[in-house]
Amino acid sequence: MSGHGHREPAGSVLARLARFTGRTLRGEWNAIVVTPVRCLAHRGLSALVLAFVAAGGVVFFHDLAQHPAGARWVRRLGGVTADLPLWLSLLRTPVSLYVPALDLPVWAGITQLFLAFALAELLLGRARTLAVAYLTTLAGTLTARLMIALGPGWWGFGLSAACGRVLDTGPSAAVVGLFTYLAVVRRAPVVFALTGGSMVWESVAVPNLAGREHLIAVGAAIVLGLLHGRREQVRAVVRSLAPTRKAESATAPAPPPDGPGKPPQPRQCDPFRTSTRAGAP
So what's the pLDDT on residue 164? Answer: 82
What's the pLDDT band for 224 if we cut at 50, 70, 90?
A: very high
Interval 126-185: pLDDT, tens: 999 999 999 999 998 899 888 888 888 767 678 888 888 888 777 888 999 999 999 999
Rounded to whole angstroms, how far apart are CA atoms 30 and 191? 13
Domains of the chain, by residue range, sit at 23-232
Rounded to whole angstroms, how far apart are CA atoms 120 and 128? 8
Rounded to whole angstroms, how far apart are CA atoms 87 and 146? 15
Query: Torsions phi, psi of 264, nearest 5?
Result: -65, 140
Rounded to whole angstroms, how far apart are CA atoms 178 and 188? 13
Rounded to whole angstroms, how far apart are CA atoms 8 and 195? 35
Q: Answer yes or no: is pLDDT of 89 > 50.
A: yes
So what's the pLDDT on residue 116? Answer: 93
Interval 181-216: pLDDT, tens: 999 999 888 889 888 888 878 777 777 788 888 899
